[in-house]
Structure 1
């Protein structure tokens, strides 16, 4: 299967050029021109690698990187017009893996993409196992005994937030931010409770024990151990 690359770039000419070159090199390409579109792609199916412009109109590429890192270990390559040390440090601290300065040479970009994908394949798979479930942070999919669960994007993100914070109780406020981000102020506790209830039903139980436990007055906790494959 071809590797899937998400190009997050608000300049249509640059995005179209990248798509053409990457597709001719055998990659499957999706494009997003803003942070919300990029997040939707990552929630819906994810990508094997993200190319991320630091400047996305009114959006901040570094902040988008941090948001992706909340639930995915996908390699992120920054495109930046400024290669100062301060900017590079900001990118790496936000969770970026590499950068290419504009104007860039396509051959260099392709080589860096190949290196990132090769490096990632040599690491752990990014798959977390817990009970009868597995969570693939790259594709944002949850499976039970190998079969993909039919979860909504919200349910998947809720599960990911709890799985990746499995050693702690996650407060309702933190879950609202992790899942709904800037819209969290408009989401009430009842909406969260309903989504948690539906998620519990879809995940099922292990030895009669649910995966998600309610911690009264605080929030929720993932009940089973989580290991990285």
Structure 2
């Protein structure tokens, strides 16, 4: 059992930083990037505390405004069950507007206010989280919650065996048969493992990757060393999540090798039972045709990442003489379309083509 948080921020670099810091505390988190997505998660899940950036959009792709974050803060406080949940505001605007901190603390209901970029000493984000939880007698340790079951059980009689299923990869979760089996909390090794295994060979069958090769690929991705035991643990965790959640939500019994297979060829998805689909277009309301609507800056980013070049926000700001906010929107759209991804190490991180 651990503390599970909701983090609301539209900057992928900040989200990576926050996830690292919360993980160091032994906590897990769900991450969303707009007011609408926050409402959906709050309706479906329970959280021990929340971290809220004020300058967020109402929906993905819309302008970011401080008022949106303040409105969300007041709405959360008015939500039944969230009246006393610790909420810590995280924003860069406290530096140039000292009255803002007082406003959100006294008038809007925040428990604390931490400025970005986060300091590594003194008034740290970790310290603010720890103090807020200790002050709140209602803050309880909860397991990372699963999506509330909205699908009718497969049968009113006995459990049914798993036959076939579609794995759908969203930006912040993976679903099987409409049930969330994996989120984006923690280090993300399990998600990286599934991302590698979702690819297909020229014969149309899923790739086969050994545990050693998975450890090597994921280790290079995160900028560290991954041991084979980590891959074994990820596989066990994925299978356990599938088994428990399909049975709980759909009354379906899933056997060990029904979805994720391990044999003498390595790890792979079950070719006879599993299909895979990218759900990022569904989740964001973006059709594949949106790729044709990319601006000059975004097209340049794709050109560079397509050449295996690393691109960061500063390069866009300097090359096109645009603000940090504009560059952030450019990168966010490409991330949402599944065309690029953010790599946090080495510091300060960079964007590359989706692996």
TM-score (norm. length: structure 1): 0.51
Pairing of 1:117-156 with structure 2 (within 5 A): 117-121=133-137, 125=138
CA distance in 2, matches of 1:25, 1:11: 21
Pairing of 1:6-45 with structure 2 (within 5 A): 6-45=6-45
| 1:86 counterpart (95, 99, 116) | 99
SS in 2 for 1:79: strand
| 1:63 counterpart (58, 61, 71) | 71
Query: Per-residue deviation at 1:106?
Result: 4.5
Query: Per-residue deviation at 1:105?
Result: 1.5
CA distance in 2, matches of 1:66, 1:46: 18
Structure 1 stretches of 4+ moved >3 Å: none
Larger strand percent: 1
SS in 2 for 1:88: helix
Aligned residue pairs, count: 130
CA distance in 2, matches of 1:49, 1:106: 21
CA distance in 2, matches of 1:36, 1:44: 13
CA distance in 1, matches of 2:78, 2:125: 26
SS in 2 for 1:26: coil
Query: Per-residue deviation at 1:151?
Result: 9.3
Can you give the 5+ residue segments of structure 1 that lack an aligned partner in the other structure?
A: 127-135, 140-149, 153-229
Please say if residues 10 and 56 of structure 1, whose CA atoms lie closer than 8 Å, have aligned partners that are also in contact.
yes
CA distance in 2, matches of 1:22, 1:28: 7
**Bigger CA radius of gyration:** 2
Can you give the 5+ residue segments of structure 2 that lack an aligned partner in the other structure?
A: 58-63, 151-355
CA change 1:61–1:29 in 2 (3 A) is same
CA distance in 2, matches of 1:7, 1:17: 11
| 1:95 counterpart (106, 109, 112) | 109
CA distance in 2, matches of 1:106, 1:113: 14
Query: Per-residue deviation at 1:32?
Result: 0.7
TM-score (norm. length: structure 2): 0.34
